[in-house]
């Protein structure tokens, strides 16, 4: 039987319609697979994320180097990766901080112990969520109750004021795009004048995406109720300056002493810029 596009009824010869371009992927999927499908469509991540993350983490400077050389098809574009990494970081921080993303004028938020107690009480009660709240079920047990309490609190904080959450996220994103990223690229342009400014922008965006992913990893334990683990993992942020120098060496070339000096100068200038914005 001939397959036809469900959108325009044209004959199909593959996973995409040659006439309207619609994907023929089925939406009759489990919720987990559907969420991944939506994320892939929204951010354009799909399989390119798996081909981008390993070299991004293991070979500093390799992804932007390949991207500016024209070998772009297998990598997530820098802007999309930056949006993905910054949103993931902001979301995890809003879960783990114990405070709302807006200024809170009420009493202090629940401690992890209070969250555990509340979640345990809720586990024994009927699972009815008041209007405007999100009910998250993890199952029984002390650890599951603690996680349930934390995730419910995080989702409720976001659900209470989605507009404020979006405004805060977009505000910080705009600040980074208007000041920090162009400023960092400008400092790189001063250090490496022969390279095009757009190349520095690409390098800067991938570097910031990596830094945001590292901060997300550090923040995850607190979001799951293990702040002590997060304190230990915070040491891995020391990798970021090393990553910068190694990435500059691969992307721009030059000797190690010169690269180290330029990396230090760029870092100092960037920190000054971040401090005044």
- Give the pair of three-digit tokens for residue 113: 């112990």
* pLDDT value of position 229: 72
Phi then psi dihedrals of residue 16, to 5 deg: -130, 145
Using DSSP's 3-state secondary structure scheme, residue 45 falls into coil
Confidence (pLDDT) at 118? 45
Enumerate residues 6+ apart whose C-beta is below 8 A from 271: none
For residues 84 and 270, what is the distance between their CA atoms, to the nearest angstrom? 23
Q: At what angle do helices 78-96 and 197-223 cross, to 10 degrees?
A: 20
In tens, the pLDDT along 168-209 reads 666 676 677 778 899 999 999 999 999 999 999 999 999 999
pLDDT score for 40: 56
Question: What confidence score (pLDDT) does residue 255 get?
Answer: 97
Task: Return the pLDDT at 133.
Answer: 42
Task: Assess contact for 165 and 173: CB atoms under 8 A.
Answer: no
**Residue in the block written with tokens 């550090």:** 218
Residue with tokens 């992927």: 25
Q: What angle do CA 41, 160, 131 make, to 5 degrees?
A: 95
pLDDT at 127: 46
Predicted pLDDT at 198: 95
In terms of Cα–Cα distance, which of 241, 238, 248 is closest to 185?
248
Report how far residue 200's alpha carbon sits from residue 194's, in angstroms, rounded to the nearest whole number: 11
Q: Which residues of the chain have pLDDT under 70?
A: 1, 24-46, 95-171, 173-174, 230
- Give pLDDT tens digits for 252-273: 999 999 999 999 999 999 999 9
pLDDT of 49: 87
Tokens of 182: 């162009």
**Beta-bridge partners for 16:** 23
Backbone dihedral region for residue 103 (phi beyond 0: left; psi -120 to 50: alpha; all else: beta): beta
Can you tell me the distance from the alpha carbon of 147 to that of 155, in angstroms, rounded to the nearest whole number?
Answer: 12
- Quote the CA–CA distance of 32 and 275 in Å, as a whole number: 41
Task: Give the pair of three-digit tokens for residue 7.
Answer: 């959108």
């Amino acid at each position: 039987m001939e397959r036809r596009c469900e959108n325009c009824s044209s004959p199909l010869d593959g996973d995409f319609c040659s006439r309207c371009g619609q994907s023929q992927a089925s939406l009759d999927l489990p919720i987990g697979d559907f969420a991944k499908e939506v994320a892939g469509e929204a951010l354009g991540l799909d399989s390119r994320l798996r081909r981008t993350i390993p070299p991004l983490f293991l070979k500093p400077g390799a992804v932007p180097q390949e991207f500016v050389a024209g070998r772009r098809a297998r990598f997530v574009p820098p802007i999309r990766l930056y949006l993905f990494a910054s949103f993931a970081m902001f979301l995890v921080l809003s879960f783990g901080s114990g405070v709302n993303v807006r200024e809170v004028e009420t009493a202090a938020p629940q401690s992890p112990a209070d969250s555990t107690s509340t979640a345990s009480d809720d586990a024994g009660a009927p699972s009815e969520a008041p209007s405007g709240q999100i009910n998250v079920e993890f199952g029984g047990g002390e650890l599951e109750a603690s996680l349930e309490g934390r995730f419910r609190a995080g989702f409720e904080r976001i659900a209470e004021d989605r507009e404020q959450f979006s405004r805060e996220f977009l505000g910080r994103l705009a600040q980074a795009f208007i000041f920090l990223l162009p400023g960092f690229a400008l400092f790189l342009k001063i250090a490496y004048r022969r390279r095009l400014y757009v190349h520095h922008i690409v390098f800067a965006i991938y570097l910031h995406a990596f830094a945001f992913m590292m901060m997300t990893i550090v923040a995850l334990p607190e979001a799951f109720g293990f702040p002590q683990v997060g304190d230990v993992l915070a040491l891995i942020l020391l990798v970021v300056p090393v990553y910068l120098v190694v990435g500059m060496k691969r992307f721009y070339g030059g000797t190690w002493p010169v690269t180290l000096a330029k990396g230090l100068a760029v870092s100092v200038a960037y920190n000054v810029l971040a401090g005044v914005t």
